[in-house]
């Protein structure tokens, strides 16, 4: 299978009921609402072609297994996840702890430039990194 430059046609419809395979067929494993499909060898080869990566038979088999384990894990999380189940913990605080927004007098131009190694005409001078000096 060669890459023709077209995007991978495996994508969810807006109703998330059907996932399309590269050849246009509907994935049978994705017919369950929200269920992640398993990956066929054909899809792994197609993904390799899109990424322009030559895959050996062993790599295709290994990647197929790894991607199917990931898809299965996603399916398990989707089965458990529910809107009516309250989260039990949140590792990140839900409140943003910010300093008070107090107006302060800004630095003058001279004060700001005093911290720079080299200044000229009221600006910082930095070495040229792009182009030439011509």
Give yes or no for a contact between 28 and 19, defined as CB atoms under 8 angstroms apart.
no
80-108 residues labelled b (16+ CB within 10 A) or e (exposed):
eeeeeeeeeeeeeeeeeeeeeeeeeeeee
What was the pLDDT predicted at 57? 94
What was the pLDDT predicted at 16? 43
Give yes or no for a contact between 10 and 22, defined as CB atoms under 8 angstroms apart.
yes
**Does residue 55 carry a pLDDT above 90?**
yes
State the chain's mean pLDDT as an integer. 75
3-26 residues labelled b (16+ CB within 10 A) or e (exposed):
eeeeeeebeeeeeeebbbbbeeee
What was the pLDDT predicted at 28? 54
pTM for the model: 0.40
Domain residue ranges of the chain, discontinuous segments joined by +? 1-82
Looking up tokens 């894990």 gives: 73
Confidence band, pLDDT 50/70/90 cuts, at residue 11: very low
């Amino acid at each position: 299978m060669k890459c023709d430059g077209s995007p991978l046609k495996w994508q969810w419809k807006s109703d998330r009921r059907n996932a399309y395979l590269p050849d246009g067929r509907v994935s049978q494993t994705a017919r369950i609402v929200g269920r992640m499909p398993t990956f066929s060898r054909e899809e792994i080869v197609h993904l390799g072609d899109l990424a322009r990566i030559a895959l050996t038979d062993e790599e295709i088999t290994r990647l197929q297994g790894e991607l199917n384990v990931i898809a299965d894990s996603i399916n398990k999380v989707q089965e458990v996840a529910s809107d009516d189940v309250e989260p039990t913990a949140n590792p990140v605080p839900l409140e943003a702890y910010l300093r008070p927004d107090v107006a302060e007098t800004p630095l003058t131009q001279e004060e700001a430039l005093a911290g720079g190694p080299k200044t000229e005409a009221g600006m910082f001078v930095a070495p040229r990194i792009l182009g030439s000096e011509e």
